[in-house]
A and B are shown apart, each in its own frame.
Chain A
Amino acid sequence: MRSEGRLALWLLLSPALLWLTLLIVLPHVDMVILALSERVRPRVYEFGFGNFAEFFKEPLYWHTFGRTVAFSLLATLATFLVAFPTAYYIAKLMRGRAKSLAFIACLLPFWVSELVRTLGWIILLRETGVVSTLLLDLGITGGRVEFLYNDAAILVGLVYSSLLFMVVPLVTSLDTLDDSMIEAGYDLGGNGFDVLREIVVPHAVPGILSGSIVVFMLTLGNYVTPTLLGGKNSLWFTEQIYNQFITRFNWQLGSAFGILLLVASSGIVWAGLKLSRQSLGTVIGR
């Protein structure tokens, strides 16, 4: 009886275990091994930290790295600023059918692939695109304007592609805020800003964090949006990794870059949780 139960447990666990081992643990172990292999001669590798040293020696690498991390934080903040009013409106001011429709409207763009959505932005923002033509026809600008291939275009694309991942946890956590709590905030003499700062935002902290973590990680690891909207100037770190693996065929350096990105994202998420005194369990497990 006991051994049968144990067998059943293992059988039930096996898909998850296989998934974890084959797709997460093994590749990462391999990446660590690769990253720690220094090329001494063609086809001859030895253990060493040379690949990481290479990263710090070449300014382009760590500039790109720093820029990607900072830009991802900015994009996360921008996503939050756009998503919060939306989520508040859906969670607190809408009721019934309209609420579900608004929620679906947020979800709808995600039925289309990220590539297609990004191409949509290109249609809007390129020199001969919709926005440029409109401004020219209205006589606001004298000539055509190129809106693509700059940081603002990347930011717009990143915020757009992350919005849903911020709106959903925010709506979920704002939904659990009792309306009478907000009313009590006003009743006791608070104005709208007081209620927002003292009651609504503190209540939504777990939702804000879980949304921010997801958006930050997705942005940091995004490849399509920065490459297509930022062009050659995007300087996104995932592009460097791609270059090492595909163009340069230097898997060792590429792996080192991958590990650095993983360490950076984990470190920042950890710091964010520490600063807000939340645990990963309460933030993600809700």
Chain B
Amino acid sequence: MPSANRSDLEIRSLTKRFADFVAVDDVSFTVPDGSFFSILGPSGCGKTTLMRMIAGFLREDSGDIFVAGRSIAGLAPNHRPVSMIFQHLALFPMMSVGENIAYGLKRRRVAKAEIAARVTTMLDRVGLPGAADKRIDQLSGGQKQRVAIARSLVLEPDLLLLDEPLGALDLKLREHMKVELKELQAEIGTTFVYITHDQSEALVMSDKVAVMNAGRFEQIGTPRELYYEPATAFVAGFVGNSNGWSGTVETIADGTARIVTDTGLGLAATAMGPLAAGAAVRVFVRPEAIHLALDEDEVAGLDNRFTGRVERVLFDGANSSVLVANPGWAEPVTVLLPQTSRFRGLDAGTQVRLGWDAGQAKCFGARS
């Protein structure tokens, strides 16, 4: 039985350099048994390098990798209790669906009858009963996805690595597969480590998400923590949509900073971490935290109040937003369009009021 502190994946100060470039820089984390863990970061942040080291396709320069309490550093990929779902799935086109799933079992010299039984069970489990004799090119995108997962899971790995496998799917199917993957993971209980640059995939599916940037983890937390309590400026800007300004702290009192932006705008925001007067900061406000109003008195009680002109309405159903421009701002501010009849006729050119509390705006010390 797993002990209390057992985790399926533990990474200890893993580092990988390519010539002068540090792709993964002293990264440490643990993934609890049976959880869905995502590594979220922009392309080039080192997440693929990290995953390839866990899978065994790249050798780490230093650090160690433990799976189920055992170090796997130095093992060849075919001897690791880890399986990987590739970005383009890498199903073997010269084999049928059943042969694809049976491939790993054959390598383990499992008896023929048992292979057949396990392939059938696995296909039922991923919702493709009777597909064993189909060719790979007869499958739809979503079906291929399931075959790839079945091919890995039939080996009962301690850990399943997924390298942006939803990237190639169209939007509708991707939304569907997100839910399906999450359900599948909850059902079978295998630890999933999912890497993606798509924040929505990470937020929807994961128990915990690590935000990676320039070879380091910026923050590890639940999707809610990352969204509502970002620890760094990068996380605040990368996870979810945000309006951002660069500026300097003028005064600071009770955790609320008065900031003057580079364009000369005065803002009140909550200081995240210790900040002193004169410090360079980044300020972030979520589009849904901004109160959009037509009259001045509607926003009267709020700490930050501005007047602007609607530049463009970006209609997207419930996710519709408005770009509001002000001569004092470098870029227009994105505000979520309230779903009320008052704003239904909102058009470009309309004068509007914007307001938000200092508690809704977060400022972070800018990295020099």
Contact = CB atoms under 8 A, between A and B. Distances in A.
Interface of A: 178, 180-181, 183-191, 194, 198-199, 202-203
A183 B107 contact: no
A49 to B, nearest CB: 46
B88 A189 contact: no
B77 A187 contact: yes
A184 B57 CA distance: 10
Nearest to A201: B94
B244 interface: no
Contacts of A202: 94
B103 A190 contact: yes
Q: Most B CB atoms within 10 A — which of A189, A190, A198?
A: A189
A181 B76 CA distance: 16
B94 A184 contact: no
Contact of B90 (A181, A190, A194, A198): A181
B76 A188 contact: no
Contacts of B342: none
Interface string B72-88: 00001110001110111
B248 interface: no
Which 7 residue pairs across A and B have the least CB separation, nearest first? A188-B104, A184-B90, A189-B107, A202-B94, A180-B90, A180-B86, A186-B77
Given A180-B87, A183-B86, A198-B103, A188 B151 contact: yes
A188 B83 contact: yes
B155 interface: yes
Contacts of A191: 78, 107
B87 A190 contact: no
Given A184-B86, A188-B83, A199-B92, 4 more contacts: A180-B86, A188-B104, A198-B95, A199-B94
A190 B86 contact: no
A188 B86 contact: no
Nearest to B76: A186
A283 to B, nearest CB: 15
A204 to B, nearest CB: 10
30 contacts: A178-B88, A178-B90, A180-B86, A180-B87, A180-B88, A181-B92, A183-B55, A183-B57, A183-B77, A183-B86, A184-B84, A184-B86, A184-B90, A185-B92, A187-B78, A187-B82, A188-B83, A188-B104, A188-B152, A189-B104, A189-B107, A189-B108, A189-B155, A190-B107, A198-B95, A198-B103, A199-B92, A199-B94, A203-B93, A203-B94
Contacts of B88: 178, 180
A188 B155 contact: yes
Contacts of A189: 78, 104, 107-108, 155
A254 B93 CA distance: 48
Nearest to A194: B107
A188 B57 contact: no
Contacts of A183: 55, 57, 77, 84, 86, 90
A207 to B, nearest CB: 13
Nearest to B105: A189
A240 B56 CA distance: 59
Contact of B84 (A181, A187, A198): A187
A215 to B, nearest CB: 23
A246 B82 CA distance: 70
Interface in B95-114: 95, 103-104, 107-108
B114 to A, nearest CB: 15
Contacts of B55: 183, 187
Contacts of B56: 186-187
A26 B240 CA distance: 75
A126 to B, nearest CB: 47
A139 to B, nearest CB: 45
Nearest to A184: B90
A190 B92 CA distance: 13
A181 B94 CA distance: 11
A130 B72 CA distance: 53
B78 A190 contact: yes
Contacts of A181: 90, 92
Nearest to A189: B107
